[in-house]
A and B are shown apart, each in its own frame.
Chain A
Amino acid sequence: MTAPAGLLAALREIVGSERCLSRREELLPWECDGLTLHGSLPSAVVLPRDTHEVARIVRACRRFDTPFVPRGAGTGLSGGAIALDGGVVIECAKLDRILAIDGANRLAVVQPGVVNAALSQAVRPHGLFYAPDPSSQMACTIGGNVAENAGGPHTLKYGTTTNHVLALELVLPDGERLRLGSATGWSPGVDLVGVVVGSEGTVGIVTEVTVRLTPLPEATETLLVLFADVVSACRAVGAVITSGLVPAAMEIVDRRTIDAVEASVYAAGLPRDAGAVLLVELDGPAEALPPQIERIRALCAVEGARVQRARDDAERERFWRARKGAFGAMGRLAPDLYVHDAVVPRSRLPEVLARVGEICDRHRLRLSNVFHAGDGNLHPNISFDRRDADELARVVAAGREILEACVAVGGVISGEHGIGTEKRDFMGLVFSADDLEAQHRLRAAFDPDGVCNPGKILPTPRFCVEANPKARGYDHVPL
């Protein structure tokens, strides 16, 4: 779908021709995000440099009745950054300045296009870092993190993006600018910052973010714990959590992932005979960590595990390279990878993992697991070849069954990737029609005409009814 000629002219007037793309070959990189299964070509891509330009772009889109979609680095995994129905992509890559670093008050003010890891690097001389650390942190942007309420391995201790955003500047869907929250992190009234974080770019375009920074820990210890199988690793995670320890991260990598990693450039020397590896990171005052390590050794020993302690930073980085490179390593297994994202109560991990394995076996799919065990956040990864139509159909069918299995034990269908277009039509697995009506109301208060990133998060009423005849087992949760 092409953009109205008048709109293109208006956009070029705002940002210039070089920052307004409209030819098909120019638009292709914006056809999809990290979820390559879903694609839709935008009618135009604009790259504003400041909030004023964003506001003018939004008003121009409104004049020509054209929807618009904010986009960061496009690393999202739920189709949230694609433009449906000929929408315009407002690419925030050029809004990439760190506007202020206030070490004394442990905060920074950034534009949305600042890369996550770059922020941590910039504030390191102040003895601080930005805690949310999604696996894509070398590329993903703070604006995208805000949209998705991004997490990462260290959310177990430090929380997700919503715990680290103090204030926002937002261009509303009518083009008005609005500041929410305060640099103090408190709001005098309603917590609208909290409402906007995680709204997947559907309530406006974030143009400035004030984030909380966290002191670099005095000491860090990383343990690699080797288990015979994933189930015993999950049991050990449960034991650690209920013991009162709060590790910074607890990540499980299963056997198939170990094989993929060790055969790749991310090889970390993981033992090929281990059924599963648990990566535990502890941080805090140096003298507080040794007793914690001993407690974890004892708890893991109950499951017959062996514990290796990273001897130095190089070894720690090697352990983490294996974890964070897992998705890349899976590229060796098949041309395509479907990274699922769901959360279950931690204590239900063993049975859900078994169920996920059974589902994939039945559908003859190649499954590997690498996940945030401490949070109960699963990432079943299915390697496949999209050119094989039959396999693709089985991937989709298995995906739905996996989500149903998670919801059946009180879980939810996304822990950090968001809903986007990927899971929009599965929202009825978790929520009733009335629950979704409340979410519609929220969205409509910001965007009554549905022009800001339409087609995301909320299903059409038809899907609600089909997907949730009886809330699929979630009704037993006495919320």
Chain B
Amino acid sequence: MPVASDDTPAAAVGPPPPAPALAADAQRALRAVAGEAGLQEHAPIDVDGVSLAFTVEPPDADAVGPVLRVLAEHGLPALVRGGGSRLGLGNPPIGARLLLSTRALSGITELDVADGVLCARAGTPLRTLHDALEDSVWELPLDPPASHATLGGVLATAAVGPRHGGFGRPRDIVLGLDVTLGDGLRARCGGRVVKNVTGYDLAKLHIGGFGAFGVLLSAWLRLRPRPACVRVLSASLGDGPERWERGLAAARLPSARAAALIDPALAAALEPSRPASAGWLLLMELAGDEAAVARDARLLGTACEAAAAPRPGTRPSDGLVGLVASEASPGALGRLRALQGETFGPVGLRFRLAVLPDRLGAVSERLERAAAELLVFPASGVVFARVSLDLDADLSAVDRAWLAAREAARAGGGFAVLEAAPPWAKRARNVFGEAPATAPLLRTLKHRFDPAGILNPHRLP
């Protein structure tokens, strides 16, 4: 039986697609550079309809280049795999013949507490990094769903979690990268210092590059000071149009590390005891100095409730009048993170939109007309929209939902990406939207960095 990748809904696993065989001479060549245990044959793993029954696992960073040269020589495109939590992102890797695992490239190579920087190998699970910093004055500013996700996978997909408002994005915290390009050339970029314009910022190409230009080996990261005080609060925003302004004002409070607006249906999944009549849920995490957190919590709290209208000369955060905030359970943010990463229902679609914050109302309206359930990060304009399809849904249902998502994104001044869908629904469409004007440039970059086209084929637009 094929095994679904970690993010693939069970229903997406249909009849096993034929897994491509690997010629004996290619197997021998790969074992010669990766070791006998470095090539494994296994039950087919289905990734967006592409069935893969072999995994090559370079034992260390030095072996990645030779492995890639063998793959190029034998014409074997590979799908790079870290923790497997995001294999379903991007366009289907059509033509991939095997997986290339970074699992052996694991561990922290340096933790510099004095400077607040850390270097770790790409295959290191995020959980390991968080654990290593547990008693430190520093914290790792990465919190995407799936703690078994690896550092390399998170960077390659530029994944963010609920705290991205406070943490920033992977592009903001990576100081330097060590990468093996498609033709086996090993190249570093950036460095270990927190400010650097020495040469081209090649790291930006690889972060969010879906592994199309190189295999990430290790990364230097900038850590953040661990806040002295953290509070998780929630508030009901009702269903009125004012929820967007209030939600945005809350999300823009200086100490807001995470702030999500959650529609009533998803809120019920987050807090089962919550009545649907309570409307939209605002879930916030405040972090920082005690004084800063206390001040923002007060603004969120009952002190605001008494005010009937903004006072003359007040600041934008005074748009919070009318909110009643209460302490949420400590696990609420973890459940929110899980919710963000879920695929929904047996035949579900998940879209990620990026729109302008002041257009969230219009965007939401369009998405709700398409029966989407919404998780919204108002400060960054990021919207996760999930649409559950009927079991007998066909491509036209997917087309309608996809069109609605793109139109909503356009109305919001941004774009939509199809993040999760059954394999049949992803095929024959570009999950990043229309072919971008940058496509020719991206193809040129791909050719320069991966001339044989063996890394994560077809993932990018």
What residues of chain A have their CB less than 8 Å away from a CB belonging to chain B? 102, 104-105, 127, 148-149, 151, 155, 159-160, 162-163, 172, 178-180, 182-195, 197-199, 215, 218, 238, 241-246, 284-285, 287-288, 290-292, 343-347, 372, 375-377, 410-419, 423, 427, 430-432, 434-439, 441-446, 457-458, 477-479
* A188, B114: Cβ atoms closer than 8 Å: no
Interface residues of B in 430-458 (CB under 8 A from A): 432-433, 436-438, 441-442, 444-445, 448-449
Interface centre among A172, A287, A292 (most CB of B within 10 A): A287
* A184, B356: Cβ atoms closer than 8 Å: yes
Which residue from A183, A191, A443 sits with its C-beta under 8 Å from B414?
Answer: A183
CB distance from B200 to the nearest CB of A (A): 5
In angstroms, Cα B193 to Cα A413, docked, is: 11
Q: Output the nearest chain A residue to B119 by Cβ-Cβ distance.
A: A478
Is B84 part of the binding interface, using a Cβ–Cβ cutoff of 8 Å?
Answer: no
CB distance from A18 to the nearest CB of B (A): 34
8 extra interchain contacts, Cβ-Cβ under 8 A, other than A288-B292, A445-B441? Answer: A151-B197, A184-B381, A215-B252, A285-B291, A287-B292, A410-B191, A414-B198, A446-B441
Which residue from B181, B288, B358 sits with its C-beta under 8 Å from A438?
Answer: B181
In angstroms, Cα B196 to Cα A288, docked, is: 31
* A105, B356: Cβ atoms closer than 8 Å: yes
In angstroms, Cα B210 to Cα A270, docked, is: 53
Is B369 part of the binding interface, using a Cβ–Cβ cutoff of 8 Å?
Answer: no
Q: Output the nearest chain A residue to B381 by Cβ-Cβ distance.
A: A184
* A415, B225: Cβ atoms closer than 8 Å: no
* B289, A159: Cβ atoms closer than 8 Å: no
In angstroms, Cα B355 to Cα A148, docked, is: 28
Q: Output the nearest chain B residue to A295 by Cβ-Cβ distance.
A: B289
Which residue from B113, B172, B181, B205 sits with its C-beta under 8 Å from A242?
Answer: B113
* A184, B414: Cβ atoms closer than 8 Å: yes
Which residue from A191, A245, A430 sits with its C-beta under 8 Å from B205?
Answer: A191
Which residues of the other chain, B, contact A457 by a CB distance below 8 angstroms?
A: 199-200
Is B238 part of the binding interface, using a Cβ–Cβ cutoff of 8 Å?
Answer: no
Q: Output the nearest chain A residue to B219 by Cβ-Cβ distance.
A: A479
A192 with B195, Cβ < 8 A, contacts A182-B415, A442-B200 known: no
Which residue from A183, A242, A372, A446 sits with its C-beta under 8 Å from B195?
Answer: A372
CB distance from B184 to the nearest CB of A (A): 10
* A244, B225: Cβ atoms closer than 8 Å: yes
Interface centre among B178, B193, B205 (most CB of A within 10 A): B193
Is B251 part of the binding interface, using a Cβ–Cβ cutoff of 8 Å?
Answer: no
In angstroms, Cα B208 to Cα A287, docked, is: 39
Which residues of the other chain, B, contact A288 by a CB distance below 8 angstroms?
A: 288-289, 291-292, 295
In angstroms, Cα B227 to Cα A220, docked, is: 20
CB distance from B292 to the nearest CB of A (A): 4
In angstroms, Cα B290 to Cα A435, docked, is: 45
Over the window 291-302 of chain B, the binary record of Cβ atoms lying under 8 Å from chain A Cβ atoms (1 yes, 0 no) is 110011000000
Over the window 120-142 of chain B, the binary record of Cβ atoms lying under 8 Å from chain A Cβ atoms (1 yes, 0 no) is 00000000000000000100000
* A242, B137: Cβ atoms closer than 8 Å: yes
* B193, A345: Cβ atoms closer than 8 Å: yes
Interchain Cβ contacts under 8 Å between A and B, 7 examples: A184-B413, A191-B204, A194-B171, A199-B200, A347-B114, A427-B199, A442-B445
In angstroms, Cα B194 to Cα A151, docked, is: 12
Is B366 part of the binding interface, using a Cβ–Cβ cutoff of 8 Å?
Answer: no
CB distance from A64 to the nearest CB of B (A): 24
Q: Output the nearest chain B residue to A78 by Cβ-Cβ distance.
A: B197
In angstroms, Cα B196 to Cα A372, docked, is: 13
A441 with B449, Cβ < 8 A, contacts A163-B172, A182-B414, A345-B117 known: yes
A439 with B172, Cβ < 8 A, contacts A192-B438, A434-B187 known: no
CB distance from B89 to the nearest CB of A (A): 11
In angstroms, Cα B414 to Cα A446, docked, is: 25
Which residues of the other chain, B, contact A215 by a CB distance below 8 angstroms?
A: 252, 316
Interface residues of B in 175-193 (CB under 8 A from A): 176-179, 181, 185-193
* A442, B438: Cβ atoms closer than 8 Å: no
In angstroms, Cα B158 to Cα A448, docked, is: 28
CB distance from A2 to the nearest CB of B (A): 32
Is B95 part of the binding interface, using a Cβ–Cβ cutoff of 8 Å?
Answer: no
CB distance from B73 to the nearest CB of A (A): 20
Which residues of the other chain, A, contact B461 by a CB distance below 8 angstroms?
A: 188-189
Is B417 part of the binding interface, using a Cβ–Cβ cutoff of 8 Å?
Answer: yes
In angstroms, Cα B50 to Cα A84, docked, is: 51
Is B74 part of the binding interface, using a Cβ–Cβ cutoff of 8 Å?
Answer: no
Which 4 A-B pairs have CB atoms at the shortest separation, nearest pair first? A194-B204, A438-B187, A244-B225, A186-B354
Which residue from B110, B186, B436 sits with its C-beta under 8 Å from A434?
Answer: B186
Which residues of the other chain, B, contact A241 by a CB distance below 8 angstroms?
A: 115-116
* B218, A478: Cβ atoms closer than 8 Å: yes
* B289, A183: Cβ atoms closer than 8 Å: no
* B195, A104: Cβ atoms closer than 8 Å: no
Which residues of the other chain, B, contact A343 by a CB distance below 8 angstroms?
A: 191, 193-196
Which residues of the other chain, B, contact A155 by a CB distance below 8 angstroms?
A: 195
Is B105 part of the binding interface, using a Cβ–Cβ cutoff of 8 Å?
Answer: no
Which residues of the other chain, A, contact B289 by a CB distance below 8 angstroms?
A: 288, 291-292
Which residues of the other chain, B, contact A416 by a CB distance below 8 angstroms?
A: 195, 197
* B187, A435: Cβ atoms closer than 8 Å: yes
Which residues of the other chain, B, contact A410 by a CB distance below 8 angstroms?
A: 191-193
CB distance from A476 to the nearest CB of B (A): 10
Is B109 part of the binding interface, using a Cβ–Cβ cutoff of 8 Å?
Answer: yes
* A285, B226: Cβ atoms closer than 8 Å: no
* B202, A442: Cβ atoms closer than 8 Å: yes
Is B207 part of the binding interface, using a Cβ–Cβ cutoff of 8 Å?
Answer: yes
* B195, A375: Cβ atoms closer than 8 Å: yes
* B205, A442: Cβ atoms closer than 8 Å: yes
Over the window 347-358 of chain B, the binary record of Cβ atoms lying under 8 Å from chain A Cβ atoms (1 yes, 0 no) is 000000011111
Is B228 part of the binding interface, using a Cβ–Cβ cutoff of 8 Å?
Answer: yes
CB distance from B140 to the nearest CB of A (A): 15
CB distance from A100 to the nearest CB of B (A): 12
* A419, B445: Cβ atoms closer than 8 Å: no
* B315, A218: Cβ atoms closer than 8 Å: yes
Q: Output the nearest chain B residue to A436 by Cβ-Cβ distance.
A: B199
Is B385 part of the binding interface, using a Cβ–Cβ cutoff of 8 Å?
Answer: no
In angstroms, Cα B193 to Cα A271, docked, is: 32
Which residue from B194, B200, B208, B218 sits with its C-beta under 8 Å from A190?
Answer: B208
* B199, A104: Cβ atoms closer than 8 Å: no
